[in-house]
């Protein structure tokens, strides 16, 4: 990662209206709420026991185990970037369009610490995170939609752009890929009061963010839910 990576914003003219920001908030709520209910059922009803007929084991590391939903049929639409309703006639992806993985296990630490590491809504916090997660080549904040507050320090919704490190960039063997996406974080609560943190990333597109020459526009879709649990 180059030291001067931060602040190289190729889409500085992106300005979102209040209506578009509201659409993005609704998109995040739809994604998070749907998976939140499934997660609460898994904890409260299934007692965190994985149904092996539904979930296929993918990999494990230490006490963390990742499973893929056998019932989910992934299609090309699963990773389609969201676009404003005015640009696509209202055909925004729904929560069911996201590939579903289940990660089960425990890690040491507090939920606040985990969420603090996820929230990076500014250039400064992105730079700090990139100093220990060495996978970013260039990055920029395109537009803040919801910024953390004193009352909700872990709630954020930011439109971002980044390119990943490409060791073959100078050889032209592999083209550089970039992402335009929303990153959202926050805290929800189970019916019993347990706190659950969420961290979501999903590709978006706007008329002002068309891919640059020689750059391939990649897609991402990611929604992580974590809860604090005692004596498990």
* pLDDT tens-digit map of 129-159: 777 766 677 889 999 999 999 999 999 999 9
Delineate the domains of the chain, giving CATH numbers in brackets: 18-227 (3.30.530)
Write the CB contacts of 104 (distance below 8 Å, at least 6 apart in sequence): 48, 50, 64, 65, 67
- The least confident of 18-22, 38-42, 147-151 is 38-42
- Is 77 or 111 the better-scoring residue by pLDDT? 111
Helix (H) or strand (E) holding 22: helix 18-44
Query: pLDDT band at 230, cuts 50/70/90?
Result: low
Mean pLDDT of the chain: 81
Residue 78: exposure state from Cβ atoms within 10 A (0-12, 13-18, ≥19): middle
Dihedral angle, C-alpha 143, 137, 9, 172, nearest 10 °: -130
pTM of the model: 0.82
pLDDT at 168 over 70: no
172-177: average pLDDT:
76
In whole angstroms, give the CA distance from residue 29 to residue 155.
12
| Contact between residue 136 and residue 160 where contact means Cβ atoms under 8 Å apart | no
Residue 229: what pLDDT? 65
């Amino acid at each position: 990662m180059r030291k001067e990576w931060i602040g190289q914003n190729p889409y500085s003219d992106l300005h979102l209206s209040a209506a578009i920001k509201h659409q993005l908030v609704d998109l995040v709520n739809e994604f998070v709420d749907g998976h939140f209910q499934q997660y609460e059922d898994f904890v409260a009803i299934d007692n965190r026991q994985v149904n092996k007929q539904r979930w296929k084991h993918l990999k494990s590391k230490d006490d963390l185990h990742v499973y893929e939903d056998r019932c989910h049929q992934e299609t090309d639409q699963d990773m389609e970037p969201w676009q404003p309703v005015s640009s696509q006639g209202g055909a925004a992806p729904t929560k069911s369009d996201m590939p579903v993985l289940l990660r089960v296990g425990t890690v040491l630490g507090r939920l606040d610490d985990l969420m603090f590491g996820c929230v990076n809504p500014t250039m400064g916090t992105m730079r700090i995170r990139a100093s220990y997660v060495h996978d970013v080549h260039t990055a920029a904040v395109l537009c803040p939609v919801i910024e953390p507050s004193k009352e909700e320090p872990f709630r954020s919704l930011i439109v971002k752009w980044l390119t990943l490190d490409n060791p073959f960039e100078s050889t032209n063997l592999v083209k550089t890929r970039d992402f335009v996406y929303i990153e959202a974080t926050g805290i929800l609560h189970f019916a019993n009061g347990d706190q659950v943190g969420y961290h979501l990333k999903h590709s978006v597109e706007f008329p002002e963010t068309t891919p640059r020459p020689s750059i391939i526009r990649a897609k991402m879709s990611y929604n992580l839910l974590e809860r604090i649990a005692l004596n498990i």
